[in-house]
Amino acid sequence: MTDRRPVRQIRVMLVDDHALVRAAVRHAIAGPDLDVVGEASSAEEATALAMELRPDVLLLDITLPGMSGVELVRDLAPRLPATRIVMLTASSADRDLVDAIRFGAVGYLTKDMAPEELARAIRSADSGDLAMTTRMAARVIRHLAEGNRRGVAPSLAPGLAELTQREREVLRLLAEGLTDREIASALTISVRTVETHVSSVLRKLGVRNRAGAAGQYRGLA
């Protein structure tokens, strides 16, 4: 006798500022048990939509206009305790990985994964498992262990603890020698916004100029 019980639908929301990426992800996870119920291209849009839809799984990119994906996790995770937030990003940086998990994400996936692996990871996240490779999980554990041995907050070395995720992105590019205009282009924000972030970084790090901020970053990287 055929089992005709309805398949449970996992309600998925996508957050990525590129429409082409969202379309590719939507196509990749098409299946009888995965239903894309909403899409957003910015943190502001994502916040409003996620609070309205309350999806089972939220796939979230790190690089977004305005607030970064990691900051969005910190904002949404306490407000949506039943939603499993999974990062889907091109970044494999330790800071992004550890901060995302520390702020409430239950998974960290990179965009070069196979479509069937992505669908499987979403199902795993929905069932309560950690959605990431064993290698990434090991990196998180190692980072947390190192932070405990040093007696400092995980992923927040001295001098960076007060910086927002976006300010750290600006600091990283600043340390690489990019101008304000080049940083603005890389992060898809205005030059004036970059100048505001740089001023905040200098104040929080207690340095007088960009060279001093870059020096602190290189010493901690």
Could you read off the pLDDT of 120-142 as tens digits, one per residue?
A: 999 999 988 888 888 888 888 77
Per-residue tokens: 127: 């069932």
Percentage with pLDDT > 70 across the chain: 86
Whole-prediction pTM:
0.66
Query: Residue type for 11, please?
Result: R
- Checking if the pLDDT of 151 tops 60, the result is no
Separation between Cα atoms, residue 189 and residue 164, nearest integer Å: 15
The pLDDT of residue 83: 93
Tens of pLDDT, residue by residue over 30-67, are 888 999 999 999 988 999 999 999 999 999 999 888 78
- Checking if the pLDDT of 69 tops 80, the result is yes
Query: Residue type for 36, please?
Result: V
Instruction: Convert the chain into a string of H (helix), E (strand) and C (coil).
Output: CCCCCCCCCEEEEEECCCHHHHHHHHHHCCECCEEEEEEECCHHHHHHHHHHHCCCEEEECCCCCCCCHHHHHHHHCCCCCCCEEEEEECCCCHHHHHHHHHCCCCEEEECCCCHHHHHHHHHHHHCCCCECCHHHHHHHHHHHHHHHHHCCCCCCCCCCCCCCHHHHHHHHHHHCCCCHHHHHHHHCCCHHHHHHHHHHHHHHHCCCCHHHHHHHHHHHC
Q: Which CATH class is domain 165-220?
A: mainly alpha
pLDDT band at 219 (very low <50, low <70, confident <90, very high): low
210 Cβ contact list (under 8 Å, min separation 6): 174, 198, 202
Weakest-pLDDT range from 50-59, 80-89, 93-102, 116-125: 93-102
When the pLDDT of each residue in the chain is averaged and rounded to a whole number, the result is 84
pLDDT band at 155 (very low <50, low <70, confident <90, very high): very low
The pLDDT of residue 146: 66
Q: Which CATH class is domain 10-144?
A: alpha beta
Using N-to-C axis directions, what is the helix angle for 43-53 and 69-76, rounded to 10°?
30
- Checking if the pLDDT of 201 tops 50, the result is yes
Per-residue tokens: 42: 């910015």
pLDDT band at 157 (very low <50, low <70, confident <90, very high): very low
Domain spans in the chain, listed from the N-terminal domain onward: 10-144, 165-220
- 39 forms beta bridges with 14
Per-residue tokens: 132: 């990431």
Q: Tokens 């960076």 belong to which residue? A: 160
Separation between Cα atoms, residue 83 and residue 85, nearest integer Å: 6
Residue bearing the bigger pLDDT, 196 or 95: 196
- Checking if the pLDDT of 166 tops 90, the result is no
